[in-house]
Amino acid sequence: MKSVLAHIDRKKVVLHCLFWLVWIVSFVFIQSLGLPSREYFVWFMYYVITLPVFVCHTYLIAYWLVPDYFFKGKYLLFLLIGFALLVVFSIIELVVSNNLVFKVFDSSKVFSPGYLNLKNILISGLGNHYIIFVFLAIKAGRSWYFSERQKEELLISKTETDLEIYQYQLQPKLIYSLIAEVENTVAESPEKAPDLIIKLSGFLNRFLFEGKETMIPLQQEVKLIEEFLDIHRFALNERLKINCVVTGNLKPFVVPPLMLLPFINDLLKIVYECNNFFETTVLIKAERKYLLFSFTMWSENSFRLSDNDNMEITKQRLNYWFRNKHRLIENMDDNFREISLEIYS
């Protein structure tokens, strides 16, 4: 017995009891409105005594007839069995209400002899179907709601998994890209090797540690960006001018780690791929409940933008962490590229 009770969803039991209680109370008031107070008692007893009839009829249709016949395309059997249930439960309701309610509590409502005729049975049965329709509507609405919520939960779970995989893949990708660019620089200018190794070592210590966190203080992310840009500034020398401006109080803010580095890295690859002179400006501005990240790249000559594989996944990360609280803007020209990110808290 205990094992059976353990499998009963108590929340559903409470919701069903509440549904039938609301039904009884509401229809007692509807039937008795404007009548003497005794009518409230008579109709209350009617709905209480006939409740098992309505419950059995409703649940047979909702949990047996509809799933086993209507949903499986057995429409003729559905109609025939539905009509048979209507007749059977209509007769039961008429007999119970007449003999156990009206004869006992209000003789003025007793049916006349021969009341169990086809006309009365059909009228009573069809009239009583309103509660079945209401129940089915609520059941369908509830099923739709939970189905949509389950879909949303699965989508969120998939997004979380994709983002987690991306974050674990991101570190090796950035490291590989950075080391490849440093190797090319050292091959061209061997004298830069010692300083580059020191800068790269300091960056990787912070990079590998902070990349594992779910959220990090904005100050740490900014420090990571500054060290990343400093490595490229030193490696490229006069070919890249970097202006980094940070304003405002960064302490209250936290952000996902490595949020901006992927597409900053993709844009900086352009400098290594061509011999143009580039000027880059990074602006990070923090105000009360507002963050602005702006990254611009400009050159006197036109340049071709490489495919930015990280932009779409960055958009997914932003939608996940800052849904409806951010705006990402891209501006492009032959010799100009700007990416601006605004975050509202």
**With left for phi above 0 and alpha for psi between -120 and 50, is residue 34 left, alpha or beta?**
left
Task: Tell me, yes or no, whether 335 and 200 share the same domain.
Answer: yes
Q: Is residue 331, in this structure, part of any structural domain at all? A: yes
Task: Tell me, yes or no, whether 159 and 88 share the same domain.
Answer: no
Confidence class for position 5, pLDDT limits 50, 70, 90: very low
Mean per-residue pLDDT, 193-214: 76
Strand ranges in the chain using DSSP code E only, listed in sequence order: 216-217, 240-248, 254-255, 278-287, 290-299, 326-333, 336-344
Residue in the block written with tokens 């960056």? 203
Task: Tell me, yes or no, whether 226 and 161 share the same domain.
Answer: yes
Lowest mean pLDDT among 238-242, 247-251, 288-292: 238-242
Q: Which residues of 174-183 are buried (b: 16+ CB within 10 A; e: fewer)?
A: bbebbeebbe
Say which CATH number the domain at 317 has. 3.30.565.10
Asked if pLDDT for residue 210 goes beyond 70, the answer is no
Asked if pLDDT for residue 91 goes beyond 90, the answer is yes
Q: Is residue 27, in this structure, part of any structural domain at all? A: yes
Asked if pLDDT for residue 307 goes beyond 80, the answer is no
| CA 211 – CA 224 distance, rounded (Å) | 10
Task: Tell me, yes or no, whether 198 and 291 share the same domain.
Answer: yes
Q: Among 65, 89, 116, which residue terminates a domain?
A: 116
Task: Tell me, yes or no, whether 59 and 166 share the same domain.
Answer: no
Confidence class for position 308, pLDDT limits 50, 70, 90: low
Q: Is residue 17, in this structure, part of any structural domain at all? A: yes
Task: Tell me, yes or no, whether 171 and 298 share the same domain.
Answer: yes
Task: Tell me, yes or no, whether 320 and 175 share the same domain.
Answer: yes
Q: How many domains does the chain have?
A: 2
Most confident of 44-48, 118-122, 276-280: 44-48
Structural domain span for residue 43: 9-116
Q: Is residue 137, in this structure, part of any structural domain at all? A: no
Task: Tell me, yes or no, whether 92 and 45 share the same domain.
Answer: yes
Asked if pLDDT for residue 302 goes beyond 90, the answer is no
The string of pLDDT tens digits covering residues 14-29 is 989 999 999 999 989 9
Q: Is residue 81, in this structure, part of any structural domain at all? A: yes
Task: Tell me, yes or no, whether 183 and 311 share the same domain.
Answer: yes
Lowest mean pLDDT among 201-210, 221-230, 334-343: 201-210
* Of 121 and 182, more confident: 121
Confidence class for position 309, pLDDT limits 50, 70, 90: low
Q: Is residue 79, in this structure, part of any structural domain at all? A: yes
Please, are residues 146 and 9 in contact by the beta-carbon 8 Å criterion?
no
| CA 105 – CA 126 distance, rounded (Å) | 25
Q: What is the DSSP letter of 284?
A: E
Mean per-residue pLDDT, 141-169: 78
Task: Tell me, yes or no, whether 100 and 171 share the same domain.
Answer: no
| CA 313 – CA 234 distance, rounded (Å) | 29
The string of pLDDT tens digits covering residues 96-122 is 999 999 999 988 889 888 888 888 888
| CA 161 – CA 81 distance, rounded (Å) | 48
* Residue 80, token pair as written in the block: 């025939």
Lowest mean pLDDT among 107-116, 133-142, 204-213: 204-213
Asked if pLDDT for residue 303 goes beyond 90, the answer is no
3-state secondary structure of 306: coil
Mean per-residue pLDDT, 38-52: 92
Task: Tell me, yes or no, whether 337 and 273 share the same domain.
Answer: yes
Residue in the block written with tokens 């909702």? 62
Task: Tell me, yes or no, whether 106 and 196 share the same domain.
Answer: no
Quick one: pLDDT at residue 83? Answer: 92
Q: Is residue 2, in this structure, part of any structural domain at all? A: no
Quick one: pLDDT at residue 99? Answer: 92
Please, are residues 269 and 177 in contact by the beta-carbon 8 Å criterion?
yes
Q: Is residue 96, in this structure, part of any structural domain at all? A: yes
Quick one: pLDDT at residue 310? Answer: 65
Lowest mean pLDDT among 73-82, 162-171, 250-259: 162-171
* Residue 250, token pair as written in the block: 């960064």
Confidence class for position 212, pLDDT limits 50, 70, 90: low
